[in-house]
Amino acid sequence: MPKKSVSTMDKKEEGKTKKQVIKKPNKSISNNTLPIEIKKEKEEEKKLTKNKNSKKTVKKPVDKKEKKVKKKNTIKKTTKTKLRTLPPPIKKPDDPPEIKEIKKDIYKILKDKILPLSIIEEIASKVIEDKKLKTKLKDILSKTVEEYERNSIDPAEACGIIGAQSIGEPGTQMTMRTFHYAGVAEINVTLGLPRLIEIVDARSIPSTPMMNIYLWGKYRLNSDLAKDVANQIEITKLNDVADIETDLTNLVIRINPDKKTMKKKGSKIDDLLESVKKIKKIDAKIERGKIKITLDDPSYKKLLNVNEILMDLKVKGIDGIKRIIIRREPEEGYVIYSEGSNLEKVLEIEGVDPYRTTTNDIQAVGKVLGIEAARNIIIQEAYNTLMEQGLIVDIRHIMLVADVMTSNGSIKAIGRHGVSGEKSSVLSRAAFEITVNHLLDASRRGETDKLGGVAENIIVGQPVNLGTGAVELVMKRSKKKGK
């Protein structure tokens, strides 16, 4: 009997040693040649790893309290977004079926030829007015195409120089003064040549920023609602709403709110207290309708510093907008005119029409609404400044300037810091401004000039590659027979 027990023990020890050997197989042995026991163990190891991974991915049971907290958070987020309701976008009314049919006929006659949409619409409306013209539609379209092609610019024409000429020449007739805004005597706006220079230089902040804030729905018809919107936009400081008294003996500051101005501005004592509590190392309390401010470390110097901070402390409104005027416009309702601009924050306010609200800050429009909107505002502002002076310039020349300024996806100035400074030609850059520096920098870099533009070819004394200079045809005269 003892012999048998020894043999079983030996067998167990042998099995352990075998397993130890099997666990570390030789790397050179392929999986196909491995013994069956090793294969089985490998499969078991794979199953274990799979189970571990599956355990990791298994979601933990969430408590009901956690679920409630999550739901509350989601509700809060949705309410924040729901607060701002937008007006429906302005849609163009669909054309009546008669105009649609005439437009189809026009496009059939035109085939490959192109006409602007505005001209096609005008022809269609004229044909509806006088139905006899429908029979003469082919002749009308052929003549309009002829006129349109005659007025289009010639190939290889120096359109940039013509555009610069047409804007630059009337620019010399412009005045240098700043004017009052038309209809609103209180707001000053730069017009004339200084404004045109601002637009072309793409200044980050205009000298007199202003906004035309349009309202929608009930806000533009109700004066009280319009005032509420204006109070949210206009910046109100603590000094405008309350009197600040400093007690030097007890080292205490008392804020005495003015009830009439508080009503006008639509603010409360709690709003004042909230804004005052933002200042560090002070303690503020409401006592008998006044706000009492005490310092943590009372001293005369600190008291004066806190007093200075309180004078400029913002209670309500949007940064940058100093003053606001509400006017009732005919066929429009109430419109808000602001001195100062902050387009991004103004568009967030309830009641403001985001589709029609404008600003004269081009860079702000580019940041908030994108490059296409910035291009449109450049055209609009430049055209309006010229028209106000009684100078008629073709809008297509201004459009060309706006395209050059915004072609890269960012607003660039037309100057040495923008379009002119980034020209590939060395001589054209040198001809514009800072001649010596441009030539020295180009010689250090070893730049080459391909003489592609106008200025560089004139400097060298070559014919320009524009207009007649762009054509490289030579006519050969054949000799007549008998001569």
Tokens 């030539």 sit at which residue?
Answer: 439
Asked whether residue 227 is assigned to any structural domain, the reply reads no
Element (H, E) at 338: strand 333-339
Residue type at position 440: L
CATH code of the domain in which 259 resides: 3.30.1360.140
49-59 residues labelled b (16+ CB within 10 A) or e (exposed)? eeeeeeeeeee
Give the pairing type, strands 178-181 and 323-329.
Answer: unpaired
- Between CA 229 and CA 223 the distance in angstroms is 10
Domain edge (last residue) among 151, 185, 214: 151
Calculate the alpha carbon distances from 253 to 68, 119, 295, 471 in Å.
45, 71, 9, 82
Contact, 414 vs 404, CB < 8 A? Answer: yes
Task: With H, G, I as helix, E, B as strand and everything else as coil, classify residue 134.
Answer: helix
Q: Which two tokens stand for residue 190?
A: 């730069």
Q: Is residue 306 part of a domain?
A: yes
Is 453 inside any structural domain?
yes
What local confidence, expressed as pLDDT, does residue 3 receive?
42
- N-terminal to C-terminal alpha carbon distance within the chain: 142
Q: State the helix-helix crossing angle for 371-388 and 395-406, rounded to 10 degrees.
A: 140
pLDDT value at residue 77? 41
Question: Does a structural domain hold residue 348?
Answer: no
Which CATH number does the domain housing residue 449 bear? 1.10.150.390
DSSP state of 389: T
**Is residue 390 one of the residues assigned to a domain?**
no
Full residue range of the structural domain in which residue 464 is found: 423-470
What does residue 28 show for φ and ψ, rounded to 5 degrees? Answer: -70, -25
Q: What domain count does the chain have? A: 4
> In a structure prediction context, what are the per-residue pLDDT tens digits for the chain, which is 483 residues long?
444 444 444 444 444 444 444 444 444 434 444 445 455 555 666 665 555 444 444 444 545 444 444 444 544 443 344 456 777 777 777 778 888 888 888 888 888 888 888 898 889 888 888 888 888 888 899 999 999 988 888 888 888 888 989 988 888 887 766 555 554 556 777 788 888 888 999 888 888 898 999 998 888 888 888 888 888 888 888 777 777 777 777 777 777 777 777 777 777 777 777 778 777 777 777 777 777 777 777 777 777 888 788 887 888 888 888 888 888 888 888 999 988 899 988 998 888 988 989 999 999 999 999 999 999 999 999 999 898 888 889 999 999 999 999 998 999 998 777 887 777 888 888 887 788 988 999 999 998 988 888 888 889 998 888 888 888 887 777 776 655
Q: Contact 161/153 with Cβ under 8 angstroms?
A: no
122 and 53 co-located in one domain: no
Q: Are 53 and 101 found together in one domain? A: no
Does residue 311 share a domain with residue 258? Answer: yes
- Are 52 and 103 in the same domain? no
Cα(112)–Cα(140) distance, integer angstroms:
17
Residue partners of 477: CB distance under 8 A and separation at least 6 = none
365 within some domain: no
Distances (CA, A) of 444 to 147, 430, 434, 440, 447: 53, 15, 16, 6, 8
411 exposure class (CB count in 10 Å sphere: 0-12, 13-18, 19+): buried
Q: Is 258 a member of any domain?
A: yes
- Residue 109, in any domain of the structure: yes
